[in-house]
Chain A
Amino acid sequence: MSDQYIRAIITINGIVQGVGFRPFVYNLALSCHIGGWVNNFPGGVHIEAEGVKESVQTFIRRLKQEAPPVSSINTFQIKYASPFGYSDFTIRQSSSEHAREVYISADIAVCKDCLNEMNDPTNKRYRYPFINCTNCGPRFTITSDVPYDRINTTMNEFLMCEKCSGEYHDQTNRRFHAQPIACEQCGPRLFLLDSTGKQIAADRELEKSVELLKRGKILAVKGMGGYHLACDAKNSQAVRELRKRKARDGKPFALMAKNIETVRRYCLLDEQESELLQGIKRPIVLLKQKLKTELAIESISPDNNKLGIMLPNTPLHYLLFDGVELLVMTSGNRSGEPIYYKDEEVIEGLRGIADYFLVNNRKIYIRTDDSVTSLFRRKECVIRRSRGYVPVPLDISSAVCSVKHLSNAIPSVLACGSELKNTFCLTKGNKAFLSHHIGDLENLETLLSFETGNEHLKKIFSIVPEAVAFDKHPDYFSTRYADTLLGIKKFPIQHHHAHIASCMAENNIADKVIGIAFDGTGYGDDGKIWGGEFFIGDYSRFERQAHFEYIPLPGGEIGIKEPWRMAVSYLAQAFGSNAFPHFLPFLSKIDPQKVNLVMEQIAKQINTPLTSSVGRLFDAVSSLAGLCNVIEYEGQAAIRLEKEADARDTCLYPYEIITEEYGYRIRILQMIRAIAEDVSQGTEISHIAGAFHRTVAGITLDISRLIRKECGLNDVVLSGGVFQNRLLLGMTIDNLERDGFKAYSHSKVPTNDGGISLGQAAITLHKLMEMR
């Protein structure tokens, strides 16, 4: 009965709108000889497919297999009914475009089809830097409102020419309803400006820009979500000049390579990393650099042996690689400021840094930084989740489902996130919309983009939060913001509880776990600065079981920016002021009066909060080992220590675990004394750093065992910025797994404070539902 006629009624939920899904279905139906129709409905698409049984089956199979790269199918339901007698296949007007229910797609790197057209001299979009179709191009960054129609994007300033309009309305065309559709005739164009903002060329902007890059000039280039500062990465003079102008000596520069072959020339990469690089999200991927290349690596990434590289994500970027193969593509900002994304601000903002500006008149509505990611043990670990990833929601069913009584609708929650590397998070149902990377809120521009971003996401996802979550630190600007909101339930969440909950949520864990949070700074429930904590608990409750011993943090923030102060603090605790090892080499670079004053400050407890932070411990050891007395960027001291460490070193430094009423206190002053001794005897830094890493991982296992013995828990969740240290993360996981633990770490959201808001949201959602 192979010619049996059947009708399939198909309902697909997920990201299937604004991604070329309907034209794809239409063309597939034609090629499979299927009758019926397709239309959008709130949350997905409906398809009726009628034809010979075999054809319908093929259609369904290919529907799943060949769906447009950007689409993401959450559910796929099929019902069968008796044939209706369709004579053709049509795209039906959507009955009610409640598009607010529909997820906005993330921005998508230019697709192969568009690239081919762009490189085809006979194509009308030959060398057109804004070519796009339903499979690629800007989305989130240009959308001002929903539904996702051209009128609600920054493309509304451009009137489509007849040809574009034809493609736009042609159901069979790849550009059917491609909202940012454009061509040379009717679309955005480039402008090349000099350092004062004066236009220097009325044509051939691309060729001239390439020429300038080749000559070692620094260009501010407008990309998908904001400006980059670009220069030829192989021109060490240009790179040095850019460092000088950005007043940035050591922080690594991100690179953009012409193609994957170029990346291979400089970095070691496996198949998965190459997929990450070439995928539609096009993040910056941290890769191990090859030891010997002609690249002046020292000036690109002086502190570690990794390079952050991405491939071009816009057609414009592809066109820039004409005679250059590797560009520095660092954020177009001043230190501490968010990247520029408005043409009217960038000229003034980057005055004195950029020699030229390659701007265009397609406005960016929402600033979106490059995402940064990496691969760890065959799993992607996102370090900064932004362009290409946002606003695709994350599933937080574990926070929802673990509540027994699910009779009421699921409430929405706003989580304000952390102070640095801020993201915020909005929930709807069991989905969490983690915002794009906002940045450091102390900066005025950043705080404003936090506020406006918040309103924007609420609007486009039509979310009215019932509760707001925020960090317990009283002086975080995100906390202050939450303070100003009226008529909303408020949930202060402890920093490290949020860290652990964030990791639980992305790993879909609802049950009680052992949580280990190692980071730099988090306001503790006792008013002290936490950051080396062991908990047991779940979304609702969290109890601290153990922590690293409190050590004075002399000077507060200055003690974080200048790790030598923390080293002095540890030494003062370990040796006392009388036996203080003034002779240690790292102190030779510091004014002895300063050292004395810091010791006095510690003794008299002047502006010296107490901290259990493992981040500070890494700082102190790095400084002790002579690697870093003053940092230029966050984590620098620890990065250097990790780079130096000999991973094969099996030595352990001594430490004590003291049993207290509340749990355990980890005492590491013996280790500090031993390290000081090693340093003074000239022991290899690689040994000191290696043994130190192994010791911290060893402590982690010891405490986990003690906790398991008492409460029987076997699942360990690791979170916090310190676990960006791959050596430590690897050693810790190995230790735990060898001992029968199941260890969970971050993958989809950052382990650093960029992931905090997800945890805050999960905890709050859970508590809110428990209260019902």
Chain B
Amino acid sequence: MKPMNECITLAYGSGGKLTHQLINDLFYKYFGNDLLLKGGDSAVFQTQDGNMAFTTDSYVISPIFFKGGNIGRLAVCGTVNDLAVSGAVPQYLSCSFIIEEGFRLEELELIVKSMADTAKDAGVAIITGDTKVVQRGCADRIFINTAGIGLIPKGVFYSVKKIRKGDKVILSGSMGDHGTAILLDRENLQVQSHIESDCTPLNLLLQPLTQKFSDSIHVMRDPTRGGVATTLNELIAGSGLSISLYESAIPVRDEVKGICEMLGIDPMFMANEGKVLIIADSNQADNIVALLKDSPYGKDACIIGTVTDHFRDKVYINTLAGGSRIVGMLTGDQLPRIC
């Protein structure tokens, strides 16, 4: 039905509405199979030893070095996290480099070393890889693709289908740190700030959670591209349920808030690389938060909302002013709608 634009625009890669359109209308159309169509961060499939999770991601971030990390660390964290939120224990990663002619070896080494360190922290091994070098101008310095595989413990099964009315929505810490840090570094904005990317492997945080609360946790996602807003919209889409958020509860660092406000950007749509959204049974929600808080990576964890059946497929914020504002998914950039 939808007329496809003739060319791919950047908005198709923004993680917003057009990305979903591309996936649904093109990739699903041709690749469609049961595993793919489940649409999780990882594909989960059965083996003789239980369920395995498999995922892949490409990293094209600019700048490649930023406060709190670099493209290499990100490439390990991102894939480890996609596995971890599906309940898996990440085990092996692959790693492919596409490098632009002229890239300095010294920088490459920094990146590779950082990848090794991060993998060690996360307890995963990089066991296969590939290297391509392209002509100057055919890539922006360096692109990295990683894929990862992990084993899902018996009895663990997370799915959006398990979301129920009354469930609590938990966020493991402040949102928007990564997106804001990248923005500041990329644009070299003349702002004094201590904002760092939150880029972190989440499996160490999530494994104890899965061990203890796998029955109460219904689904987990890492709110990367498109931020908390987009991820929550994805989670609730088609469920017939809604998510009601408490504006005052959503953790945002003052500095992030201040800079986003200044630039007119909503931190709800800013990427995170070391945070997890958990939708869990309300009975155990407080205990889950308590366990998250035990870890330095989850010390700011809190309940930010509730699943309701008042409305269909909506994410909305109960604002401090007493209203309720819908948080939609964006098609591309944050374009003004008001007059």
Contact = CB atoms under 8 A, between A and B. Distances in A.
B63 interface: no
Given A475-B331, A609-B333, A445 B339 contact: no
B159 interface: no
Interface in A54-105: none
A604 B263 CA distance: 12
A151 B227 CA distance: 50
B290 interface: no
**DSSP class of B's interface residues: helix, strand, loop or mixed?**
loop
B321 A557 contact: no
Contact of B338 (A337, A443, A557): A557
Contact of B332 (A445, A474, A476, A604): A474
A336 B323 contact: yes
Interface string B249-282: 0000000000001111100000000000000000
A475 B229 CA distance: 14
A349 B322 CA distance: 8
Contact of A556 (B17, B189, B264): B264
A523 interface: yes
B326 A609 contact: no
Nearest to B319: A336
Nearest to A420: B339
Interface in A214-232: none
A247 B328 CA distance: 26
A109 interface: no
Nearest to A348: B322
Nearest to B9: A527
Contacts of A445: 323-324
Contacts of A557: 264, 334, 336-338
A555 B263 contact: yes
A558 B261 contact: yes
B336 A529 contact: yes
B190 A520 contact: no
Given A594-B262, A597-B190, A604-B187, A521 B339 contact: yes
Contacts of B261: 558
Contacts of B332: 474
A296 B314 CA distance: 44
Contacts of B334: 556-557, 607
B256 to A, nearest CB: 15
Interface in A737-753: 752-753
A658 interface: no
A378 B316 CA distance: 45
A537 interface: no
Interface in B306-331: 311, 314, 316, 321-326, 328, 330-331
A597 B311 CA distance: 40
Contacts of B311: 444, 448
Interface string A572-599: 0000000000000000000000101110
Give the most central of A443, A474, A553: most B CB within 10 Å.
Answer: A474
Given A247-B321, A335-B321, A559 B338 contact: no
A594 B264 CA distance: 12
A476 B337 contact: yes
What class of interface size applies to chain A in its complex with B? Answer: 35 or more
B183 interface: yes
B7 interface: no
A607 B338 contact: no
Contacts of A349: 322
A348 to B, nearest CB: 10
Nearest to A528: B335
A706 interface: no
A607 B264 contact: yes
B335 A444 contact: no
Given A443-B324, A475-B330, A553 B336 contact: yes
What class of interface size applies to chain B in its complex with A? Answer: 20 to 34
Interface in B284-320: 311, 314, 316
A680 B334 CA distance: 35
Given A607-B263, A607-B264, A529 B325 contact: no
A470 to B, nearest CB: 13
B328 A556 contact: no
A208 interface: no
A525 to B, nearest CB: 13
A336 B262 contact: no
A597 B325 contact: no
B4 to A, nearest CB: 15
Given A444-B325, A555-B263, A555-B264, A609 B339 contact: no
Interface string B75-115: 00000000000000000000000000000000000000000
Nearest to A720: B339
Nearest to A531: B339
Interface in A246-261: 247
B8 interface: no
A523 B338 CA distance: 11
Contacts of B191: 597
A503 interface: no
A475 B264 contact: no
Contacts of A448: 311
A301 interface: no
Contact of B337 (A335, A442, A559, A604): A442
Contacts of A447: 326
A560 B338 contact: yes
Contact of A474 (B17, B190, B322, B326): B17
A596 B190 CA distance: 9
A594 B261 CA distance: 11
A247 B319 CA distance: 14
A560 B262 CA distance: 13
A554 interface: yes
A161 interface: no
B264 A521 contact: no
A752 B338 CA distance: 12
B325 A419 contact: no
Nearest to B18: A474
Contacts of B17: 474
Interface string A371-401: 0000000000000000000000000000000
B286 to A, nearest CB: 26
A725 to B, nearest CB: 13
Contacts of A420: 337-339
A600 B189 contact: yes
A559 B335 CA distance: 11
B325 A442 contact: yes
A439 B146 CA distance: 48
Interface in A506-545: 519-521, 523, 529
A607 B326 contact: no
Interface string A621-665: 000000000000011000000000000000000000000000000
Contact of A477 (B189, B321, B326, B339): B326
B326 A442 contact: yes
Contacts of A604: 187, 189
A477 B322 contact: no
A597 B339 contact: no
A335 B323 contact: yes
Interface in A461-507: 473-477, 480
A445 B326 CA distance: 9
A188 interface: no
Nearest to A476: B337
A337 B322 contact: yes
Interface of A: 247, 334-337, 349, 419-421, 441-445, 447-448, 473-477, 480, 519-521, 523, 529, 553-561, 594, 596-598, 600-601, 604, 606-607, 609, 615, 634-635, 721, 752-753
The 3 closest A-B pairs by CB, nearest first: A555-B264, A558-B264, A520-B339
Interface of B: 17, 183, 187, 189-191, 261-265, 311, 314, 316, 321-326, 328, 330-339
Given A419-B338, A476-B337, A609-B333, 14 more contacts: A443-B324, A473-B337, A475-B328, A475-B337, A480-B328, A519-B339, A521-B339, A555-B265, A557-B337, A597-B189, A601-B262, A601-B263, A609-B336, A721-B339
11 contacts: A336-B325, A444-B314, A474-B335, A520-B338, A556-B334, A557-B338, A597-B191, A597-B262, A606-B183, A609-B336, A635-B339
